[in-house]
Chains A and B, each alone.
Chain A
Amino acid sequence: MLGFILRRLLIIIPMALLVVSVTWILIRMAPGSFYSEERTLPPAVEANIKAKYGLDKPLYQQYFIMLGNIVRGDFGDSLRYQEQSVNEIIARHLPYSATIGALAYLFALIIGLGAGIIAALRQNSAFDYGSMTGAMLGLSVPNFVLGPVLVIVFSLWLFWLPPARWGGIANLILPVITLAAIYTAYIARLTRAGMLEVMRSDYIRTARAKGLDEKTVLFKHGLRGGIVPVVSFTGPALASLLAGTVVVEKVFAIPGLGNIFIQSVLNRDEPLTLGIVAFLSIIIMVANLLVDISYGFLDPRIRYE
């Protein structure tokens, strides 16, 4: 197991560098640069900018300089926001995304697991059909539709909740629900399916035959196996919650990392884009590693090699 973790950790660094390299090539392939604007810059000013940022050097040199800096963990300063370092920007905006992401996932886990378990235990009941219909809706209504609908109802008709922006707890309700909808639905369906399968398996029958009470059967034996699919979903879910909250951040004007990421690409802010890409790729790989490790604790049948 330790060998497995070490092997995986060692892969993370080269993988991140590969991702950064590919991103760098894509940025450089896109026409335009951070200083290109509607008005032509005087040639002397443009030459000075190029010299300052080393853009007049051969491409391969620029590439190795960039790679060297990243290996040393120095992402440099943003090109657009010149007085701010990339590290500072990531550190400042990550908490916004992490807050709504974590709250959304928590919401999704509580509601999703609860609904899934009850639906599985009362298969074919009204609750089962109702919650699964709700889940189907949650899966099919995209968040860029759900968000504005919630805003219209709760902010513009009822004037109960603020329609956008960061602020107090009231500001969090709509974005968290919008973001959580699809995960809640997915988790509810996964839990229901997992529980249905597990509760019919031989070891549950054995447990019941041993005379264990239904609570222990359900929570000690059933749930552990039943939520394995949910856990494996957590890896990609956390990743998309971190990087994929762009839509919700836009709709609700939340200054999160996803929003900054998109803007950095549009601004051709190369150091910022590369920094966020490197950071997110490492986070995603670590999250996946943690998920893989946790399988072993949940399901004794899974072994690492």
Chain B
Amino acid sequence: MIRSFSRPISIFLITGLLLSALSCGGGSNEEYFGKSDPPTDNILRYVSGSEPESLDPAVPTGQPEARLLMAIHEGLVEYHPKTMKPIPAIAESWEISPDVSEYIFHLRKNARFSNGDPIKAQDFVYSFQRALAPDFLAKNAYLSYYIKYAEAYNSNHAFVKRNDGSFVLKRDLEDTGQASEVGTALFGPETEFGRSLSIPERLTVPGDEKSRNAAFEKNPKLKAIAANAEFVPVAASDIGVEAIDDYTLRIKLRQSAPFFIDMLSHQFFKVVHRGAIEKHGKQWVRPENIVTSGAFRLKEHHPYDRIVVEKDPMYWDADSVRLAGIEFYPLEEATTMMNLYKAGSIYAVYNAVPPAAWIDTLRQYRHEYMDHPAITIQYYTFNVTRPPMDNVKVRKAFALAVDREAIAAFRKTSKATFDFTPIGIFPEYEEIRDRVYTRELAKQGRNLAQWKAKMYDPEEARKLLGEAGFPVQRSGNSWTSPNFPTAEVEVLYNTSESNKAVAEFLQAQWRQNLGITVSLKNMEWKTFLNVRKELDYRGMGRAGWVGDYADPFTFLKLFYTQHNDSSTGWYDPKFDKLVNAANSELDAMKRLELLAEAEFFVMDQQPVNPFMTDSTNWMKKAFVKGMYPNPQTMHPWKFVYIEQDPANWDRNAENLMRDRDESVESHIDRLMATQTARAATIAEQAAAETRSPN
């Protein structure tokens, strides 16, 4: 997910620095930071980040919108407020096919839109088809590309129909003839559409003639197969989403995707009301027109000022919703937000708001300051398409010459890392990864301790640089590398004080340990994105990544396929093979093992230089409860409530994730019960079948 980087004008930052000591200081012997009076109107006041691009869940891509939209729109599943794992929402339970390519959702019968209309499986089919329509231009469409023919429909592709009426299949084109047959067995109830979805995947080609011919020129075999064939455009109704009946929904994927259920909590997959959209077009999101499905409904929207939602009595779980409403303030100035927080006008801020200079002070308010692992990683990309960074030894040298512990200590809200998946988010994966790394390193005659020493090893860095043809010599108290093409390497970052501070820190490290002084270059955000993506930079580029869902693949995906999002120019089919193998692996543990192998492979090539994973850095008043420092800082609002009695306020945020808040946990247990029951029935049936084989 895209981080909402603050892009303030630098003068504010200067002022911020000048004044931060003043405004955040004082009163550290007090228990709470500023005013801590719970509101009597039971309304939560929260800063959500920049003004939402749209209140249509299928449009926006940012985190500010994600936080806000989960109040008013609901999907099949919802984030667990602590683990971010899916819990039942409009779907009260679900079944997953053994090869993880088909999901059957059982919808609850009492779910209603805010206007009272029942929410049925057909509404989900409509919502998915609408969001994927090519002219809808959804930037998030790629999230659903795992669904069969979703990508083909979204990209205006067409099926290839032979003269005899049969369709060309994807496997007809593949050389080995043994394309993956995932999903060819029908798992859920038999239907005609279900059967048609269960044949091996059809081949699709670009729908417009020009791109199609270009594709044919590149692939003569494709041209031969498609000769004299008819091209049938992929239609919305071809997508692998089916309403089996009013309350049963089938989603058929084109591949095994164990992480797909985690993704379904994303706003892109929320249900929307067909009638409202068809009546009002784009204007349907205005307060007077909108029909919503979430625990809250939209009351007012004053762009750049406030978005007011109130508890929706139509909501199926309304009895358990504790807040009367929420006021979201779309603000971007960190200092302004913290001022509002201290003055008691807002009760919580989103992640990464408190400026670095404030943090030491804020940490002392341990009931309010949230310091937990976040699902983010900070790294520098190497442009591997240009010398000298095309040489893996040079890349490794630059990576090893960085004292990561020192940066982490300097940044205050980060932990040092050398890996690409963040620390403390996937404990199972981390354990397996250690084992895989030990094995892989043994093949190279190294051990895990040596690998972990990569946190900082200037000696080795100088050696590697020498081997790459740029010897590092001692001169007096420092080092020099006279052969190194210093002019070819710079650090590109998007303008921000904190990025600058980190860049200067790393610059000093390389000067001190390698004798190389790289230059720093900053750019405004959109310009920077473009330059980095087009690989128009020399040397290194700043980067950060926030995971979209609770699975390591959300990070490793950055290096997947030739046109990947790594902005490094690095690509290796071997990595893709490992990832493909992992994602079609049905055994969850084995899958993680294969993912760890893939991570080892890419990190050994060092196309990126990871140096820290962030911790959450936000605050909430102690009287706001049911709001947790989870890795994505996403808050399912129906669990949040305001506690008037100071005796029951949250104490010591460090234990928040461990402590059991009975009222929240029992609510979650109640919601989970339907799915647990379903899983038990399935297990029972399976056991019965094994006991009495036919």
Contacts A39-B565, A83-B282, A253-B331 given: A165-B340 contact, CB under 8 Å?
Answer: yes
Binary CB contact string for chain B from 663 to 689 against chain A (1 if under 8 A, 0 otherwise): 000000000000000000000000000
A148–B343 contact, CB under 8 A?
no
A32 near B343 with CB under 8 A, answer: no
A207 CB, nearest partner CB in chain B, Å: 49
Residue of B nearest to A38 (CB): B2
Q: Does A255 contact B (CB under 8 A)?
A: yes
CA A36 to CA B528, docked complex, whole Å:
10
CA A36 to CA B134, docked complex, whole Å: 18
B12 A144 Cβ-Cβ under 8 A: yes
Query: With the chains together, A35 CA to B533 CA distance in Å?
Result: 13
The reply to whether B15 and A144 contact each other, CB–CB distance below 8 Å, is yes
Q: Is B195 an interface residue (CB 8 A)?
A: no
For residue B376, which residues in chain A have a CB less than 8 angstroms away from its CB?
none
B333 touches A156 (CB 8 A): no
Interface residues of A in 233-271 (CB under 8 A from B): 246-247, 250-253, 255, 259-260, 262-263, 266-268
A259 and B304 contact, CB distance less than 8 A:
yes
Within 8 A of B (CB), among A32-59: 32-33, 35-45, 48-49, 52
B9 CB-CB contact with A under 8 Å: yes
Contact call A251/B333, Cβ cutoff below 8 A: yes
Q: How many residues of A contact B (CB 8 A)?
A: 55
Residues of B within 8 A of A211 (CB): none
A92 touches B (CB below 8 Å): yes
Bits for B221-245, please: 1 = Cβ < 8 Å to A, else 0. 0000000000000000000000000
B355 lies within 8 A of chain A by Cβ: no
A164 to B341, CA, bound (A): 10
Instruction: Tell yes or no: A168 within 8 A of B by CB.
Output: no
Complex CA–CA separation, A85 to B303 (angstroms): 13
A21–B156 Cα gap in the complex (Å)? 35
Q: Is the beta-carbon distance between B345 and A268 smaller than 8 angstroms?
A: no
Interface string of B299-331 (1 = CB under 8 A from A): 000111100000000000000000000000101
- Of the stretches B51-59, B81-89, B366-374, B480-488, the one at the interface is B51-59
A68 → chain B, closest Cβ, in Å?
Answer: 23
A33 contact set on B, CB distance < 8 A: 526, 530
User: When A83-B283, A93-B304 are in contact, do A38 and B565 touch as well, CB less than 8 Å?
Assistant: yes
Of A142, A162, A252, A263, which is within 8 A of B345 by CB?
Answer: A162
Which residue of the partner chain, among A32, A45, A165, contacts B141 with CB atoms under 8 Å?
Answer: A45
* Contact, CB under 8 Å: B529 / A32: yes
Chain A residues contacting B23 (CB-CB under 8 Å) are 148, 151-152, 156
From B54, B302, B335, B343, contact of A82 by CB (8 A): B54
Q: What B residues does A152 contact at CB under 8 A?
A: 19, 22-23
Please tell me if B551 contacts chain A, counting CB pairs below 8 Å: no
Question: Is B274 part of the binding interface, using a Cβ–Cβ cutoff of 8 Å?
Answer: no
Name the residue on B nearest A251 (C-beta): B336
Chain B residues within 8 Å of A30, by CB: 524, 526-527
B54→A31 contact, CB < 8 A? no
Q: In the complex, are the beta carbons of B15 and A145 less than 8 A apart?
A: yes
- Bound Cα distance from A37 to B529, whole angstroms: 7
Bound form: Cα–Cα A89–B533 in Å: 32
Q: Are B54 and A83 closer than 8 Å at their CB atoms?
A: yes
Cβ of A155 within 8 Å of any chain B Cβ, yes or no, is yes
Please name all residues of chain A whose beta carbon is closer than 8 Å to the beta carbon of B565 when the two chains form the complex.
Answer: 38-40
A103 to B527, CA, bound (A): 38
A138: CB under 8 A from chain B?
no
Contact with A along B50-77 (1 / 0, CB 8 A): 1101100001010000000000000000
Which one of A159, A164, A259 lies within 8 Å of B340 (CB-CB)?
A164
Q: Is the CB of A49 within 8 A of B137?
A: yes
B538, chain A: closest CB distance, angstroms: 16
Q: Digit string of B14-36 for contact with A (CB within 8 Å is 1, else 0)?
A: 01001100110000000000110
A155-B9 in contact (CB<8A): no
Q: A163 in the interface, Cβ–Cβ < 8 Å?
A: yes
Could you say which of B7, B59, B336 has the most chain A C-beta atoms within 10 Å of its C-beta?
B336
Docked-complex contact B340 and A163, CB < 8 angstroms = yes
Residue count of chain B within 8 Å CB distance of chain A? 62
Q: Give the A-B pair count, Cβ closer than 8 A.
A: 163
Residues of A within 8 A of B156 (CB): 44, 48
Nearest Cβ on chain A to B125's Cβ, whole angstroms: 21
With an 8 A cutoff between CB atoms, is B96 at the interface? no
**B397 within 8 Å of A (CB atoms):** no
B-chain residues with CB within 8 Å of residue A42 when the two chains form the complex: 141-142, 145, 151, 154-155
Q: In the assembled complex, how far is the CB of residue A151 from the closest CB belonging to chain B, in whole angstroms?
A: 6
B577 surroundings in chain A (CB, below 8 A): none
A155 and B343 within 8 A (CB): yes
Instruction: Tell whether, in the assembled complex, residue A37 and residue B61 are in contact, meaning their CB atoms are under 8 Å apart.
Output: yes
CA distance A162 to B602 in the complex (A): 52
Q: Select from chain A the residue with minimum beta-carbon distance to B26.
A: A157
Q: In the bound complex, do residue B304 and residue A163 qualify as a contact, i.e. CB atoms below 8 Å apart? A: no
Contact of A38 among B286, B342, B529, B531 (CB under 8 A): B529
> Cβ of B54 and Cβ of A253 under 8 Å apart?
no
Check B446 for interface membership: any CB of A closer than 8 A. no
Q: Which of A41, A43, A164, A251 has the most CB of B within 10 A?
A: A164
Contact code string B617-655 (vs A, CB < 8 Å = 1, else 0): 000000000000000000000000000000000000000
Interface string of B422-459 (1 = CB under 8 A from A): 00000000000000000000000000000000000000
Inter-chain CA distance A194–B157, complex, in Å, is: 74
Which of B134, B305, B331 has the most chain A CB atoms inside 10 A of its CB? B305
User: Are B304 and A156 within 8 A (Cβ)?
Assistant: no
* A39 to B15 CA separation, bound complex (whole angstroms): 33
The answer for the CA separation of A160 and B73 in the assembled complex, in Å, is: 38
Q: A37-B2, A41-B139 are in contact. Are A32 and B527 (CB under 8 A)?
A: yes
Among A216-247, those with CB < 8 Å from B are 246-247
Residue of B nearest to A250 (CB): B333
The listed residue (A36, A159, A166) touching B526 by CB distance below 8 A is A36
- A40 vs B12: C-alpha distance when bound (angstroms): 31
In whole angstroms, how far apart are the Cα atoms of A92 and B533 in the complex? 36
CA distance A48 to B135 in the complex (A): 7
B285 at the A/B interface (Cβ < 8 Å)?
yes
Given contacts A45-B138, A52-B135, contact A156 B339 (CB under 8 A): yes
In the assembled complex, B11 has its CB within 8 A of some CB on chain A: yes
Q: Which residue of A lies closest to B543 (CB)?
A: A38
- Contact between chains at B526 and A149 (CB < 8 Å): no
Decide if B526 touches A32 in the complex (CB within 8 Å): yes
> In the complex, which residues of chain A have a beta carbon less than 8 angstroms from the beta carbon of B137?
45, 48-49, 52
Q: A209 to B318, alpha carbons, bound, how many Å?
A: 85
For B12, B302, B564, B565, which residue has the most chain A Cβ atoms within 10 angstroms?
B12
**Cβ-based interface call for B525 (8 A):** yes
* B469 proximal to A (CB < 8 A): no
In the complex, which of the residues A52, A155, A260 has the most CB atoms of chain B within 10 Å of its own CB atom?
A155
Asked whether any CB of chain A lies closer than 8 Å to the CB of B563, the reply is yes
Shortest CB–CB separation between residue B9 and chain A, in angstroms?
A: 7
CB neighbours of B53 from chain A (8 A): 80-81
Choose among B2, B11, B525 the residue that contacts A247 (Cβ–Cβ < 8 A).
B11
Q: List 19 A-B contacts (CB under 8 A).
A: A30-B526, A33-B530, A36-B530, A37-B2, A44-B157, A45-B139, A45-B155, A81-B54, A81-B303, A83-B282, A89-B303, A148-B23, A250-B8, A251-B335, A253-B340, A255-B303, A263-B50, A263-B304, A266-B524
In the A-B complex, the 5 residue pairs with the closest CB atoms: A32-B526, A44-B155, A255-B304, A163-B339, A83-B282
Residues of A within 8 A of B (CB): 30-33, 35-45, 48-49, 52, 80-84, 89, 92-93, 142, 144-145, 148-149, 151-152, 155-156, 159, 162-166, 246-247, 250-253, 255, 259-260, 262-263, 266-268
Interface residue ranges, B against A (CB under 8 Å): 2-3, 7-9, 11-12, 15, 18-19, 22-23, 34-35, 50-51, 53-54, 59, 61, 134-135, 137-139, 141-142, 145, 151, 154-157, 282-283, 285-286, 302-305, 329, 331, 333, 335-336, 339-340, 342-343, 345, 524-527, 529-531, 533, 563-565
Besides the known contacts A148-B19, A266-B7, 7 further A-B residue pairs in the complex with CB atoms under 8 A apart? A30-B526, A33-B530, A44-B154, A142-B11, A156-B34, A164-B340, A262-B9
